[in-house]
Amino acid sequence: MTVAKEDVRTLAETARAASRALATIPSRQKDAAMLRMALHLRAAAPFILAANAEDVAAARKAGKNAAFIDRLLLDAQRLESMARAVEAVADLKDPVGEVTEQWTRPNGLQIRKVRLPLGVVLMIYESRPNVTSDAAALCLKSGNAVLLRGGSESARSNQAIAKALRQGLVEARLPENAIQVVPAGERESLLELLKLEGLIDLCIPRGGEGLIRFVAENARIPVVKHYKGVCHVYVHEAADLDMATRITVNAKASRPGVCNAAECLLVDRSVAERFLPKVGRVLVDKKVELRGCPTTVAVLSRAGIPVKPATEDDYGQEFLDLILAVRVVKDLDGALAHIARYGSEHTEAIVTGDAEVASRFTREVTASGVLWNASTRFNDGGELGLGAEIGISTSRLHAFGPMGLRELTSQKYVVHGSGQVR
């Protein structure tokens, strides 16, 4: 299907009109819509799963690999999780209208900072169809209209899901155009969307680096980027080495395909001899391939643990797989220098019993999440207690780290006077 420029603009204009209506709608009406959306996701299960089966068949035919198919695939259980996630967002506190601060000026002016929606959010993503309902619910709850631009691989699934969601909107007497799917697959229509300054307030790209670069290079609308996570675990000489092992193994192997998984282990020289064989054995048991610096290779080889020599490319690499780069560093300064050079400002962790060292690490490392004695996997909206996330920003502007409902709002100053003039 070809989408003309005018059609893309029309989509955005109808989203804008819907966003104006949404901005002041009471929470209970938005919540009611979300409950109806969840119901319709369940009721439409046969249609959604049939549409998804077509997408999956096409992907198989196109020779996509198993991981790709797994991300794309829906079943009854996954659909039920999507419906529950929408209900969970309905249960969260509405951020719109929240007074975040208030104070009174010497001249008697009462100042409040009040949250308001951003307006229209353009969500650009790749194969996972659950993003369609997750993003729609988060945007609706925060009073934003959303344009959903998923990948062409999941186009049928996304359309079927959006149809169910829109039925929920209509039944709650909310504007149906608050949730719209943009036809996928054409770079031209995406380019048009990215230029609609004044109609779209925020673009959130989630996906591969190529997609995100394309968006960043072509957008005239504000973009909050979700780049790769090249996350490190740094084991300091004062670490509890059992704890360090648990954290390293969890950070690398519990779910290697996600952005808060560790890609590189840094170990203080003074504990390398004791720690590397210990952690290496567990990692190898978990099928992790180790790529080490010369010292790492020497230590692990002596212990009979398989290891490859790391190349320069292995540092700063997001493997998204059961591969871990390992490097022995001199000390805290060495670790900080490595992270400043190779990190992606996503998530960094230190394991140490020394509070002063931890304090320097957490202060000096620039990353959206910095963890002391905990797995990198906790840099996640749900785990941090934000309720749900629309992504993890690696931009420092507007939002840094997991973006929840609050990060989908802005704040205005509301001033109450009694006739004050300057």
Give the interface with its own copies as residue ranges (CB under 8 A). Answer: 20, 23-24, 97, 103, 105, 109, 111, 114, 116, 118-119, 197, 201-202, 216-217, 220, 222-224, 240, 243, 246-247, 249-251, 254, 340, 358, 362-364, 366-375, 377-379, 383-385, 395-398, 400-402, 410-422
Q: Kindly compute the dihedral angle of the four CA atoms of residues 48, 52, 53, 56, in this order, to the nearest 10 degrees.
A: 180
- Tell which residue, 89, 71, 186, has the closest CA to residue 133: 89
Minimal distance in Å, beta carbon 233 to its own copies?
11
Task: Pick the closer one to its own copies by CB: 61 or 422.
Answer: 422
Nearest to 214 by CA among 147, 120, 319, 124: 124
State in angstroms the smallest separation of the CB of 214 from its own copies.
Answer: 12
Are 92 and 388 within 8 A, CB to CB? yes
Nearest approach in angstroms of CB 65 to its own copies is 26
- Compare residues 22 and 307 and give the one whose CB is closer to its own copies: 22
Closest by CA to 95, choosing from 397, 404, 401, is 404
Kindly report the number of other CB atoms within 10 A of residue 359's CB atom.
11
State in angstroms the smallest separation of the CB of 28 from its own copies.
16
CB under 8 Å to 128, separation ≥6 — which residues? 71, 72, 154
Pairing of strands 323-329, 289-292: parallel
- Kindly tell me which of 216 and 298 has the beta carbon lying closer to its own copies: 216
Nearer to its own copies, 57 or 415 (CB): 415
Distance CA 206, CA 201 (A): 17
Residue 359 CB, nearest approach to its own copies (Å): 10
Q: Which residue, 48 or 121, has its beta carbon nearer to its own copies?
A: 121
CB closer to its own copies out of 287 and 363: 363
Rounded to the nearest whole angstrom, what is the least distance from the CB of residue 385 to its own copies in the complex?
A: 6
Nearer to its own copies, 68 or 378 (CB): 378
Taking residue 309's Cβ as centre, other Cβ atoms within 10 Å add up to 11
DSSP state of 197: B
Number of C-beta neighbours around residue 349 at 10 A:
29
Sheet of 120-124, strand order? 179-181, 145-149, 120-124, 202-205
CB of 44 to its own copies, least distance (A): 32
Nearest distance in Å: CB 389, its own copies? 12
Q: Establish how many alpha carbons lie within 13 A of residue 209's alpha carbon, considering only the half-sphere containing its beta carbon.
A: 9
Closest CA to 367 of 357, 378, 356, 382: 378
Nearer to its own copies by Cβ, of 173 and 412: the residue is: 412
State the minimum distance, in angstroms, from the CB of residue 329 to its own copies: 18
Burial class (CB in 10 A: 0-12, 13-18, 19+), 57: exposed
CB of 18 or CB of 59, closer to its own copies:
18
